[in-house]
Amino acid sequence: MVNTQATQARRELDAVYEVGKTLATSLDVAKTFREALNYLLHAFDWRRAFVVLADASNSRLLGLCAVGLSPDEQLRLAFMPGEGVVGRVFASSVQALVPDVHTEPLFLNRTGGADQTPGTAVAMLATPIRADRRTVGVLAVDCLNPGESRVFADDLRVLKMAATLMGQALLLQRSVSAGHAAMQDEVRRMHKALKTSHQIEHVVGVSAPMQEVFMQVHQVAPSRTTVLLRGESGTGKEVIARAIHGLSPRKGEAFVCVNCAALTESLLESELFGHEKGSFTGAQSQRKGRFELAHGGTLFLDEIGDISASFQAKLLRVLQERQFERVGGSTPVKVDVRLILATNRNLERMVQAGEFRADLYYRINVVSIQLPPLRERREDIPAMAQHFLDRFNRENGSTRRFNPAALRVLSSCYWPGNVRELENCVERTATMAQDEVISDLAFPCQGNRCLTQVLHHIDREDAVRPGRLASIPITEVPGAPPRAPAEEPATAQAEPWPPDAAPAAVGAAGEAPEHDASDGKPEGEHDRLVWAMERCGWVQAKAARLLKISPRQMGYALRKYGIEVRKF
């Protein structure tokens, strides 16, 4: 008796092990369930077996897999909850044992199991399959029961353990499927976002201001409308001009650039309109100007705000008539040219001062695109720095890379020279770096060797105050834009004002100029702090002495009003 029980226990343990191992081989539950049923039938002398699962609405039970049933019989595996033995087991979540299906009124004989052995009793065992605390299906088997003398307690126990393992396998499969579906939805969403977002080749820009620029570029490019690009020096106006040309129907024609600030008035006239032979000393042959060379294409006039008043009149006539005469000639030359102009000057102020013709201003300011300075799109700095470093590595056969601390230094700088200055800084630092990994200590600004503070006049009239730093994604992944969240610099964190540094202590009356409060800042105090920091080159200790407060009080004051300390 003891040996018999031990043998039965060992057989059940082997069955559980084999079923579990089979179910773990794949997420294809129809395949693994069928293999598990095959093993159970051979191990326990069962005749047929099948698994039915509830549909999404729990309104029907449909066959998933079966062993011992023909394809036609498997197609008939469909039950309503509460219908027949299988439906009752599903609805009640309780095992069922039918000693002889021939005498059971609830047995539907839907697959013809009772017809195969008319003279022999056929027992049916069914157990619910549960997952996540609810019944999701039914596992059923049948076997011959000669004389109805077989005891099925052990079979029901094995069947229950197998159904439990199947429920866990179903739960895992559905969890993975849900995760996969969510991932597919996210991929589709990203593809849709990429299709609707406006990207420009060779231009890095994921920030909202640059996305706005990209949208305007895509919108204006198909037309022949004159475009005026505005923004500080180094913001990439020529790159955007080339992008407009590349997205226009004229992309197969010439793109001609002229820097108006680099030429005198006489040279600029000859450069743009060309000249006839003998028109001046040294004119030994006829020469076509840039307008003619750009015929059918695009002419980009950079620094348009620096041309003289007399040349403004000549340019206005060309823009109106779309024709001109070469220097020293009298024959009109007609051209089909799209104009893109750029300036970093305040043209409206120049018009008010009489330095720029109002009629020319209205002629060129048809569509105006404002390019944001780099400090207003700090989210783009890590990716742009990586782009410049990748180009340096390709050109020099090196494998240098930034660490997160280095990217934080780049993301915190004021960058008065914008993209051009960032590119220069990356190349200089990569050239002089001692190690393959560029750290924060490799930058000149960390050792007071940066000349930006000397070159940039922070007290000029058009200087822009820095805004608060946003959280910029920074990660140490070579050759890829950073994605891990970065810590916000300490200067952008608000701390309570200490008792010994009350707002009234910041500066004495008459020591700093009073300005109107801006951006909701308290009137007077915020502007005194900015004035003192600008006067002292953004050195906190010097500014504190100017305001006759301690450096500690100065630090708290800067944090209180959210003033970002410019780093050079």
The pLDDT assigned to 389 comes to 94
Distance CA 167, CA 25 (A): 15
Q: Please, is 411 exposed, middle or buried when counting C-beta atoms within 10 Å of its C-beta (0-12, 13-18, 19+)?
A: buried
Among 42-56, 199-213, 305-319, 493-507, name the one with the lowest average pLDDT: 493-507
- Confidence tier at 476 by pLDDT (50, 70, 90): very low
Is 375-463+470-488 in CATH node 3.30.70.1560? no
567: pLDDT strictly greater than 80: no
- Please name the fold of domain 208-372: Rossmann fold (3.40.50)
Whether 2-176 shares its CATH topology with 490-568 is answered: no
520: pLDDT strictly greater than 60: no
Adjacent-strand bridge partners of 144? 122
564: pLDDT strictly greater than 90: no
Distance CA 307, CA 404 (A): 45
Closest CA to 138 of 79, 52, 49: 52
> Which has more pLDDT, 356 or 266?
356
149: pLDDT strictly greater than 70: no
Contact 97, 156 (CB under 8 A): yes
Mean pLDDT for 142-162 is 83
Domain locations in the chain? 2-176, 208-372, 375-463+470-488, 490-568
Mean pLDDT for 330-334 is 84
Adjacent-strand bridge partners of 98? 124
The pLDDT assigned to 54 comes to 93
The pLDDT assigned to 170 comes to 92
Q: Which residues contact 517 (CB under 8 A, 6 or more apart)?
A: 523, 524, 526, 527
- Please name the fold of domain 490-568: Arc Repressor Mutant, subunit A (1.10.10)
Mean pLDDT for 430-448 is 86
Residue type, 75: L
Mean pLDDT of the chain: 81
| CATH code reported for the domain at 2-176 | 3.30.450.40
- Confidence tier at 489 by pLDDT (50, 70, 90): very low
Q: Which of 238-242, 441-445, 467-471, 505-509 has the highest mean pLDDT?
A: 238-242
Residue type, 255: F
Q: What is the pTM of this model?
A: 0.50
Q: What percentage of the chain carries pLDDT values higher than 70?
A: 82
465: pLDDT strictly greater than 70: no
Residue type, 77: L
Contact 408, 474 (CB under 8 A): yes
Query: CA distances (Å), 431 to each of 153, 360, 420, 446, in order?
Result: 80, 45, 17, 16
Q: Classify the C-alpha dihedral 152-156-159-165 as positive or negative.
A: negative
